[in-house]
A and B are shown apart, each in its own frame.
Chain A
Amino acid sequence: MSAGDWLTGSDAAFDRRRKLKGAVFAGACGAATLVGVVSLGVLLVDVIIDGIASLDWRFVTALPSRFPERAGIKVALAGSVWILVLTALISFPLSVAAAIYLEEYANRGWVSKTIQTNIANLAGVPSIVYGILGLALFVRGLGLGRSVLSGALTLSLLIMPVIIIAAQEAIRAVPPTIREAAYGLGATRWQVVSRQVLPMALPGILTGTILALSRAVGETAPLIMVGAVGFIAFTPEGPMSPFTVLPLQIYQWVSRPQDEFRAIAAAGIIVLLLLLLSMNAVAIVLRNRYSSKT
């Protein structure tokens, strides 16, 4: 008697139906995955078609203008670079220190548990709420005004939870045997952390930091709150200068009804995406080098 004989006709049909259902489901899941991929493709193509004609060297180096054909992104690009550098200088040391404390120094008591839960919750707070905090605390409270520094401080608070969580993961991935060997040789805790743990965790920490910074570079809403709006005619000269950034310049062009402004908004988006893409590329290179070593 062969294996299939005991199947009656309806059982065989039932089996076929199950197989068919399975194939339909597999196809549906594949199609669902494609929705995300295709959306990304359509978005990129749409932006490139709209903006490529306006994108040239003059556009990148020209000062802002009320006339779309003369307007450029020099001031916004410089503002974004200022924000990027200042935010990195503020958020990186603070976040890494916090991660070292939580992973290497803290006992597992309620204090560190509270800090940890709090960091997880902060990572989910909408960016515009950080903007409100920045407005009340830095712009008004500390009297820093509508300056690059206010913007960088606000964005630092925004991305610190992200960097802390990434740095903690990188530190946790350092094998405990390394620490034990160093302690066994009589190293103090700080010597273990600074000479063994940190160098090994650094590529992972840097990857997380760059990804968080690229989020900061793409942020718009919190910077509107701290007042990086309006017509800024010159590149920032220092941390206390007024400023605007690329995403904000794009927003201001998008909100005009004329098609000419839409076109230069798209050109601005291309520059912004190229900036983010190169930051991500650096992060990916770091990650690959790191994972091949261990």
Chain B
Amino acid sequence: MAPTERTDGSEDLGATGRDPVAPTVVSGLGFQRTKNVQERIIGGVLFSCAAISTLVTVGVVVVLLRESLIFFSNVPVWEFLTGTRWQPAFTPQRFGVLPLLAGSVMVAVGSAIIALPLGLMTAIFLSEYAGQRLRGILKPVLEILAGIPTVVYGYFALTFITPLLRQFVPETDVFNAAAASIVVGIMIIPTVSSLSEDALRAVPRALREGAYGLGATKLEVSTKVVVPAALSGVFASFILAVSRAIGETMAVTIAAGNLPNLTLNPLESIQTMTAYIVSVSLGDTPQGTVAYQTLFAVGMTLFIITLGMNILSQWVLSRFREEYQ
């Protein structure tokens, strides 16, 4: 096969009855046909494996939609989206998602305040300042940071960060949004730094050298040439990191608490969308109850938000990419 004429294994292969490059001299026609059938089967099997990923997405959407639709036949969408109280377990039941949404947003904003500047500065340091050897040490350390299970971060928040916060502000709740935001921030630093660093390093050397030639200092080269040139990649990493913070589950479940609470005070106990989903599945919630359906309605909200942010990140990357030769 010439590299230019890739054929689609599922249909095209053997459409002419034979593989264009397969040997025909020694093997004879029967052998040839067996080989073609074999190739087509293999192509089909491989295609099905690749198609599974699409089925997963369809599965997620179908599963979430089916139960959510039942939920929304009981609870108006409007009440769900604008209600300020979330109490599915007590009477009168209230299904306003805003307290959960606000909890998720508060953790996301708090962790972004920590991770975006630190992550970008880490990326600048690794790409512009650090030498080869220092990079060789720092990058694996950041990879380890990214690989620590989230339940461990939850433990760290609850047993180390919260007591630390309470030393400074004694009225801090045992479970609070601030500690969760801090650990989630630490957790997503590697997301920002590694993706941003890739973007910074992709900026061609000539741009840097041109600026140095004009007498710019390293600070001016970094902040006025390299970062602006890599801005699309940097923004994409920011959006992905925030989306990760919204989807983060265990650290916020352990550290931020389980109290749906519409508040702006990060020292109070709150509940995020993800923590709510966990709290429902920890209890015994029979299928068919409204509480069971809330699982899917909240999951749907979470899925739409994170998927939207991921798509936005890819769009920023392709739409605002600077092309350098």
Q: Which residues of A contact B (CB under 8 A)?
A: 18-19, 21-22, 25-26, 28-30, 32-33, 35-37, 39-40, 42-43, 46-47, 50, 93-95, 97-98, 100-102, 105-109, 111-112, 114-115, 117-122, 124-133, 135-137, 140, 157, 160-161, 164, 176, 179-180, 183, 186, 188-190, 192, 211, 214-215, 217-221, 224-225, 227, 229, 247, 250-251, 254-255, 262, 265-266, 269, 272-273, 276, 280, 284
Kindly state whether residue B263 has any CB partner on chain A within 8 Å: no
Kindly state whether residue B105 has any CB partner on chain A within 8 Å: no
A118 touches B53 (CB 8 A): yes
For the complex, give the distance between the alpha carbons of A260 and B58 in Å: 45
For the complex, give the distance between the alpha carbons of A122 and B307 in Å: 9
A102-B50, A105-B8 known; A39+B186 contact, CB < 8 A: yes
Point out the residues of chain A lying under 8 angstroms from B303, CB to CB. 125-126, 129
Q: Which residue of A lies closest to B138 (CB)?
A: A33
- B93-121 CB mask vs A (1 if < 8 Å, else 0) is 00000000000000000000000011001
A121 touches B6 (CB 8 A): no
A127 touches B53 (CB 8 A): no
B150 touches A218 (CB 8 A): yes
A32-B117, A43-B152, A132-B295 known; A98+B53 contact, CB < 8 A: yes
Q: Which residue of A lies closest to B309 (CB)?
A: A124
Q: Which residue of B lies closest to A218 (CB)?
A: B149
Kindly state whether residue B314 has any CB partner on chain A within 8 Å: yes
B281 touches A225 (CB 8 A): yes
A276 touches B6 (CB 8 A): no
Kindly state whether residue B214 has any CB partner on chain A within 8 Å: no
The one of A18, A33, A111, A220 that contacts B126, using a Cβ cutoff of 8 Å: A33
Kindly state whether residue B268 has any CB partner on chain A within 8 Å: no
The 10 A-B pairs at the shortest CB distance, nearest first, are namely: A126-B247, A218-B149, A32-B121, A97-B49, A105-B9, A101-B46, A186-B23, A29-B125, A124-B310, A221-B249
B274 touches A272 (CB 8 A): no
A125 touches B19 (CB 8 A): no
B53 touches A119 (CB 8 A): yes
Shortest distance between the CB of A163 and any CB in chain B (Å): 11
Point out the residues of chain A lying under 8 angstroms from B248, CB to CB. 126
Chain B interface main SS type: helix
Q: In the complex, which residues 28-54 of chain B have their Cβ closer than 8 Å to any Cβ of chain A?
A: 35, 38-39, 42-43, 45-47, 49-54
Chain A interface main SS type: helix
The one of B53, B150, B154 that contacts A115, using a Cβ cutoff of 8 Å: B53
Shortest distance between the CB of A88 and any CB in chain B (Å): 16
A254 touches B156 (CB 8 A): no
The one of B23, B47, B142, B246 that contacts A36, using a Cβ cutoff of 8 Å: B142
B50 touches A97 (CB 8 A): yes
For the complex, give the distance between the alpha carbons of A188 and B14 in Å: 11
For the complex, give the distance between the alpha carbons of A115 and B48 in Å: 11
A32-B125, A124-B307, A190-B42 known; A106+B8 contact, CB < 8 A: yes
For the complex, give the distance between the alpha carbons of A255 and B258 in Å: 12
Point out the residues of chain A lying under 8 angstroms from B254, CB to CB. 251, 254-255
The one of A37, A47, A130, A189 that contacts B1, using a Cβ cutoff of 8 Å: A189
B129 touches A221 (CB 8 A): no
Point out the residues of chain B lying under 8 angstroms from A186, CB to CB. 21-23
For the complex, give the distance between the alpha carbons of A114 and B57 in Å: 12
Given contacts A35-B186, A107-B6, A126-B274, 17 further A-B contacts (CB under 8 A): A29-B122, A33-B126, A40-B148, A43-B153, A106-B8, A117-B314, A118-B53, A126-B248, A127-B247, A137-B63, A189-B19, A189-B43, A218-B147, A218-B151, A220-B149, A220-B250, A250-B151
Measured as residues with beta carbon below 8 angstroms from the partner, the interface class of chain B is 35 or more
For the complex, give the distance between the alpha carbons of A35 and B185 in Å: 11
B149 touches A114 (CB 8 A): no
A36-B142, A251-B151 known; A106+B50 contact, CB < 8 A: yes
B43 touches A105 (CB 8 A): yes
For the complex, give the distance between the alpha carbons of A105 and B152 in Å: 42
A101 touches B149 (CB 8 A): no
Point out the residues of chain B lying under 8 angstroms from A106, CB to CB. 6, 8-9, 47, 50
Point out the residues of chain A lying under 8 angstroms from B219, CB to CB. 18, 21-22, 25-26
A224 touches B281 (CB 8 A): yes
The one of B19, B51, B128, B156 that contacts A47, using a Cβ cutoff of 8 Å: B156
Point out the residues of chain A lying under 8 angstroms from B23, CB to CB. 186
Point out the residues of chain A lying under 8 angstroms from B238, CB to CB. none
Pick from A30, A40, A125, A269 the residue with the most CB of B within 10 Å.
A125
B217 touches A19 (CB 8 A): yes
Q: Which residue of B lies closest to A94 (CB)?
A: B49
For the complex, give the distance between the alpha carbons of A33 and B122 in Å: 5
Point out the residues of chain A lying under 8 angstroms from B230, CB to CB. none
Q: Which residue of B lies closest to A276 (CB)?
A: B147
Q: In the complex, which residues 175-218 of chain B have their Cβ closer than 8 Å to any Cβ of chain A?
A: 186, 189-190, 193, 217-218
The one of B47, B59, B306 that contacts A137, using a Cβ cutoff of 8 Å: B59
For the complex, give the distance between the alpha carbons of A30 and B123 in Å: 10
Point out the residues of chain B lying under 8 angstroms from A121, CB to CB. 57, 307, 310-311
The one of A33, A132, A247 that contacts B299, using a Cβ cutoff of 8 Å: A132
A37-B138, A39-B186 known; A101+B302 contact, CB < 8 A: no
Point out the residues of chain B lying under 8 angstroms from A98, CB to CB. 46, 49-50, 52-53
The one of A118, A128, A214, A225 that contacts B57, using a Cβ cutoff of 8 Å: A118
